[in-house]
Amino acid sequence: MGHITANTSGGPVVTADKPSGPWRDAWRAFRKNKMAMLGLSMILLFVLIALLAPVLSPYDYKAQELSNRLQPPSAAHWFGTDDLGRDILSRVLHGARISLWVGTFSVVGSIILGTLLGILAGFFGRWLDMIISRLFDILLAFPSILLAIAIVAILGPSLQNALLAIAIVNIPTYGRLVRAKVLSLKNEEYITAARAIGMKNSGILLHHIMPNSLTPIIVQGTLGIATAIIEAAALGFLGLGAQPPAPEWGKMLSDSRQFIATAPWTVMFPGLSIMFTVLAFNLMGDGLRDALDPRMKS
């Protein structure tokens, strides 16, 4: 709705207000955060690289040329070659696909299961809350990477099992976050009013509880992707993640660790790729937290 101001000639001038809303206001606040926009730009760049990896790669990432093994960066091989003569640039580009895929889908799985369990525990309480909370406590009693290693060791080393293990170990993070949010929401006046007019629990959950629980999930999920990428790289480094010849960044680091002194480029470029990807998600996650959390606003 517009508001009226006076111009220099004395007549009224109607100026239109900018459309407003919680998500629109959050986007405006996010855009003002330069570091958050930098993180978003970096993420979009990595996504573009992952999508166009077959086009951008100068060589087949699996092609071996032993006569060119451990060649330093040059015009022919911008990132050099590894111990099997494979082009590191091509492998790094294709590795973006694996890292983003594992990071994104493991977090999506954690969010779905964690949100479901957190809502059940927080909304219905009693014995259900006790069982689910104790389950979260048991999972949190183990260091996440050790629990992920144990799960992959049981299921067998593979990229899919690494994704599943990362999703499982992060369920309590989202479950406890959602449970705490639901506990604070279910006693609000509008929830009481919804009950008073006869709205069923399913309607309250879908129309009131879940929409108002999205903010912390979005923020934690964005930060969680960065953590998941590191965990996937750690499992790959230990040989429990992607298997050869898949160009997973952590596996590339593991395969090249013996050449750190003689051929440092073999570990430098995969390591930098992990660092910049994690940094990008952390920057964007911090920006989302500042934009979506009312307590962070002046």
Quick check: is 138 in a domain?
Answer: yes
Quick check: is 10 in a domain?
Answer: no
Name all contacts of 211-216 with Cβ < 8 Å and 24+ positions apart.
212/181, 212/185, 213/115, 213/119, 213/178, 213/181, 213/182, 213/185, 215/292, 215/293, 216/177, 216/178, 216/181
What's the confidence (pLDDT) of residue 11? 52
Quick check: is 6 in a domain?
Answer: no
pLDDT cut 70: percent of the chain above it: 90
pLDDT in tens, 163-209: 999 999 999 999 998 888 888 877 777 777 877 787 777 777 777 77
**SS3 label, residue 160:** helix
Q: Which of 195-204, 217-226, 283-292 has the lowest mean pLDDT?
A: 195-204
* pTM for the structure as a whole: 0.82
pLDDT in tens, 18-50: 566 666 777 888 888 899 899 999 999 999 999
Quick check: is 19 in a domain?
Answer: no
pLDDT in tens, 95-137: 999 989 998 999 999 999 999 999 888 888 788 889 999 999 9
Quick check: is 14 in a domain?
Answer: no
Quick check: is 202 in a domain?
Answer: yes
Highest mean pLDDT among 62-71, 181-190, 209-218: 62-71
What's the confidence (pLDDT) of residue 298? 46
Quick check: is 9 in a domain?
Answer: no
**Domain residue limits at 245:** 31-296
Into how many domains does the chain fold?
1
Q: Dihedrals φ, ψ of 157, to 5°? A: -65, 125
Please, are residues 85 and 69 in contact by the beta-carbon 8 Å criterion?
yes
Report the CATH number at residue 148.
Answer: 1.10.3720.10
Quick check: is 13 in a domain?
Answer: no
Tallying the residues shown for the chain, one arrives at: 298
